[in-house]
Amino acid sequence: MSFDDLSAELELRKQQSLYRSRRTLQTAQQPIVQVEGREFLAFCSNDYLGLANHPEVIRSFQQAANKYGVGGGASHLVNGHSQAHHELEEALAEFTGRPKALLFSTGYMANIGAVNALLDKRDAIFQDRLNHASLLDAGLLSGARFQRYLHNDADSLDKKLAKTDARRHLVVTDGVFSMDGDVADLPALSSVCKKHQAWLMVDDAHGFGCLGQQGGGCAEYFAMPNDDLQVLVGTLGKGFGTAGAFVAGSDALIDTLVQHARTYIYTTSMPPAVAAATLTSLRLLKEETWRRDKLTQLIKQFRQGCSELGLTLIDSPTPIQPIMIGESSKAMQISKILEDDGIYISAIRPPTVPQGGARLRVTLSAAHTEEQVNRLLHALEKVS
């Protein structure tokens, strides 16, 4: 058997309602979008604060493109580290309360780069069972002894750490879990890490901008000291509304990544204009606290409405509000009915989520209105 069975495998995925298809978006990220010639009210973007199409962010991007051009040109260590990159790193370090921050092209590359710069086969890595694929891949690629603890369960982690004799112990978790929307119990995890002299690494991709008084994410949400969270990862394509990612931490951590993180060393830097636009996003994210206040209100409105409809939600205080369906075929069917009604929500199916855990992943944005959330609830009432 060679590769002749690829078509048969794809057909089987279709029969199991697991086949993935791309849709072509023809407008900016915003509540009302056009997809393949048709207008929809969308609830599936990670642009939680409504900054991806903000005129000030766009203006900063345009002005920086006029100054720096379009591409980064080279890696940061050759001649691709622009003044815009440098200023953004310094601003992110200040924002997170860390000595230094380091930019990566994507969150996937940040996670793989950080883990593989810190660990090898002499070490051990412990991951939440529901961690993002980039974290799982990072652990497997490192060659470190790989273990997964029960979801958000510090006791499970404690038992696994007690049995290891590795050189270094790294505990890795999402801050906000991307498919469930729940928040990791970072204080409990940090306490276990201290007990076993382990480091804690948090990928707070979905927390930055949304959680904390200033949008500082899970670390601010829990008021965690730097020493309790040694490796902090954030992405810029969600709450920040732009693109790329960063790792924030101690001088020693960031210098180690510069020396050893292959996904930093061997790739072209993000376009400088994106860095400049992100600086503006960061300012808006901190100053315009009404965006988080509005999100909180919309989340409350949506959850209350779903409760009245008898829909099953996960306990999530974040803009990620998955409606649990169960069977993939049923999730696809409901998504199609909603689409026919002008509502655009993606059905999330295995292997992205566990078997039997298919869902409609509703995501709310500060750009949505109460009327738009009510329209969604009315549409869900027809299919519930």
Domains of the chain with bracketed CATH: 14-43+289-383 (3.90.1150.10), 55-287 (3.40.640.10)
3 state SS of 348: strand
**For residue range 12-28, what is the model confidence (pLDDT) as tens digits?**
999 988 898 899 999 99
Among the listed residues 76, 160, 238, 368, the single catalytic one is: 238
pLDDT average, residue stretch 121-129? 98
Tokens of 237: 């394509």
Calculate what percentage of the chain has a pLDDT beyond 90.
91
Element holding 172 (H helix, E strand)? strand 169-174
260 assigned ligand-binding residue: no
Element holding 197 (H helix, E strand)? none
Residue showing tokens 């855990």: 357
289 assigned ligand-binding residue: no
Identify the pLDDT of residue 357. 87
pLDDT average, residue stretch 340-360? 90
235 assigned ligand-binding residue: yes
108 assigned ligand-binding residue: yes
Tokens of 61: 């991007």
| Average pLDDT of every residue of the chain | 96
Among the listed residues 45, 82, 134, 178, the single catalytic one is: 178
Q: Is 300 a catalytic site residue?
A: no
Q: Are 247 and 110 in contact (CB under 8 A)?
A: yes
Identify the pLDDT of residue 17. 85
Q: How far is CA 338 from CA 15, 28, 77, 179, 344, in A?
A: 21, 21, 48, 20, 7
The answer to which of 108-112, 314-318, 365-369 has the lowest mean pLDDT is 314-318
Tokens of 92: 């992110």
307 assigned ligand-binding residue: no
3 state SS of 133: helix
pLDDT average, residue stretch 377-384? 91
20 assigned ligand-binding residue: yes
Whether pLDDT at 95 is above 80? yes
Read off the pLDDT band of 1 (50, 70, 90): low
Put residue 310 in one of left, alpha, beta given phi > 0 → left and psi -120 to 50 → alpha: left
Q: Are 380 and 306 in contact (CB under 8 A)?
A: yes
Among the listed residues 54, 76, 100, 206, the single catalytic one is: 206
107 assigned ligand-binding residue: yes
Q: How far is CA 258 from CA 77, 101, 278, 346, in A?
A: 8, 11, 21, 37
DSSP per-residue letters across 163-192: T---S-EEEEEESB-TTT--B--HHHHHHH
- Rounded CA separation 129/353 (Å): 11
* Rounded to 5°, angle at Cα 131 from 318 and 333: 65
352 assigned ligand-binding residue: yes
